[in-house]
Each structure stands twice: as C-alpha cells, then as structure tokens.
Amino acid sequence: MKYSFYILLSLLLVSCGETKEDNGKLKVVTTTTMITDMVENIGGDLIEVNGMMGSGVDPHLYKPSEGDMRKLTNADVIFYNGLHLEGKLVDVFEKMNGIGKTTIAISDALDKSTLIGSDYFASNYDPHIWFDIDYWTQMTEFVTVKLIEINPENKAAFEKNRDIYLKKLADLKRELASKIEELPQEKRILVTAHDAFNYFGRSFDFEVVGLQGLSTATEAGVKDVQRITQFIIENKIKAVFVESSVPRRTVEALEAAVKAQNHEVQIGGELFSDALGSGGTEEGTYIGMYRHNVNTIVNALK
C-alpha cells in the first residue's frame, strides 16, 4: 500500500507543473480544520489556503486522497499539527521533505516539556494542543513568523492580521473563564467519547474522562463502559457528551448502562474535538468552536 501510494506521488510530481495554476499568491496546504482557520486569519486574502480535512473529519484515521496529493505537490508550504495527530500522514510529510517541500509542524512552537504525556502516540505526547488557548497563541505567532520567512513582502499585513487574531484569542480566554465560573468545582467533570480534552481540563480545572483514550484508532470495550459507568454514578454526573468526529454509539451505550443502574444521566450535547463545525457557521471557526463547547458543557453540567 505504501509503495503504490509513493508511485502515485511520483506521478503527480511529474504532472504538477502542468496542472498548477499560478495566481501569484502563496499556496498553503493545511491538515486539520483548526489549522486552516488559523492560517486563514493570519494570511487573509494574501494567500491561497487549501485544507485537506473538512468538518467532522477524524485526523487520527485520515487517509489522503489523490486530490490531497495534488494539493500537497502544488503547495509552497504545508502546515500540520504534528505529535502524530495525523498518524497516517507522517510518511507522506517525510516524503514531501525529501523532495524539497516545506512542511511545518505547528507543534514545534511549543516547549515539549510542558506537554501532557501519552503512551498512545509515537511522539509520547497528547496531540490535542489546540485546546490550550495559550498554546494556540504561541502557535499563531510561530505560523506568522514562518509565513513571513516564505513571503516577506506581506510581512506588515501578516503581522497586523496576527495582532487582530491574538486579541480575539485573549478576549475568548477571558470570556470562557467567566462562563466556567458559573459551574461549581465539584461539577467540573467532563466525560466524552475520547480523551481529547485534557488540555482544556488543565486550562480550566476540569477532570476529564474519555471512553476511547487519546486516539480513536481503538474503540472502547465493555470494561471501559463498565468502569466509567461506576465513575459517573459515584460522582453523580448529570451529563456526558458526544463528539462530532467520533461515532455516537459508544456514548449512547454508556448512557444506557448508567440508566440501567437507576442513575439518571443525559447526553449533554455534541462537542467539537478533532474538527471544527461546518464552514460558514460560528462553530466552523476555532473561536466559535471553543465558545460552543464551553457553553454546552457548562449548561449541561449545572
């Protein structure tokens, strides 16, 4: 499979000079919807951004299509999360580096000693770093620097856009902290489909429990459901949450298991974890996604 994929890559490289349309703008490819939104905020109309993944797409399991390969071979720069979030794309990015393409992991902006550890990923770190707004601020500054290095003629515009976006992020953090203050500390327990919210939990002092662990590559088993059922009952948790990029069935099974033991629990709503909402909606932006998640969590757990 890997070799046939590289054959496809080689063929596309041969043809990319014929298919590439040059509109004079820097051509940027991004992987996750969160990164796409960030880069669009910084670059504005001065760059052309092509996101590989759409709303509801799980980056843990994502496999690139032929169309994705055309985007990658035509790109001037590729931004991705790193930390093995895009597990099936690691070999592709290594191959791209080998042919002289600029590929940048935005997680390189961070001090690895501050990251949450994980045995589930080859990087040994939890890759869901966008749920720490301070990290997202650092990565925004990092991406701006990289765009300026590649496209220095637009330096002033990139920096202006960055500053506008950073102010919005600072305002968001204050807004969310105020909303979370509505929830007593003993109710700050978040149970979700998979363990994507540890950076959120660390930032806002929540205990976080995920059915599937950090990666969606392995599904939760009966023992996981039984263990978390008892946890919910013991802690008198009112609500659990499904995620837009993870099938609902495991959380629904958990809800049924809890109710079978005469404890009332509800599905408190849908959270956005590994992908933003649909384009053109508030939840289709990083800021709107985070605001939606916090409002949903607080309102359901009160």
Task: Name the DSSP letter for residue 102.
Answer: E
Q: Which residue has the higher pLDDT, 218 or 134?
A: 134
Q: Do 36 and 164 have their domain in common?
A: yes
* Cβ pair 102, 77 in contact under 8 A: yes
pLDDT digits (tens, 9 = 90+) for 91-113: 899 888 888 899 999 999 999 99
Q: Do 118 and 82 have their domain in common?
A: yes
Please count the structural domains in the chain.
Answer: 2
Alpha helix locations (H) across the chain?
2-19, 33-43, 66-74, 90-98, 133-150, 155-180, 198-204, 222-234, 249-260, 286-301
Q: Do 204 and 124 have their domain in common?
A: no
Q: Do 170 and 187 have their domain in common?
A: no
CA separation for the pair 289, 197 (Å, rounded): 13
Pairing of β 207-210 and β 26-30: unpaired
- C-alpha separations of 6 from 3, 70, 91 in Å: 5, 13, 10
Burial class for 102, CB neighbours closer than 10 Å (0-12, 13-18, 19+): middle
pLDDT digits (tens, 9 = 90+) for 150-204: 999 999 999 999 999 999 999 999 999 999 999 999 999 999 988 899 999 999 9
Domain boundary among 174, 193, 220: 174
At 125, which CATH number?
3.40.50.1980
Task: Name the DSSP letter for residue 116.
Answer: P
Amino acid at 53: M
Q: Do 32 and 159 have their domain in common?
A: yes
Q: What percent of the chain has pLDDT over 90?
A: 73
Asked whether the predicted pLDDT for residue 19 surpasses 50, the reply is no
Q: pLDDT band at 76, cuts 50/70/90?
A: very high
Q: Do 130 and 6 have their domain in common?
A: yes
207 strand-pairing partners: 189
Q: Do 13 and 151 have their domain in common?
A: yes
Q: Do 67 and 215 have their domain in common?
A: no
Q: Do 134 and 219 have their domain in common?
A: no
pLDDT at 99: 85
Q: Do 8 and 149 have their domain in common?
A: yes
Structural domain boundaries, residue 91: 2-174
Q: Do 122 and 270 have their domain in common?
A: no
**Stated pTM of the model:** 0.90
Domain boundary among 127, 146, 174: 174
State which H helix or E strand residue 29 sits in: strand 26-30
Q: Do 20 and 155 have their domain in common?
A: yes
- Rg of the chain over Cα atoms, rounded to whole angstroms, equals 20
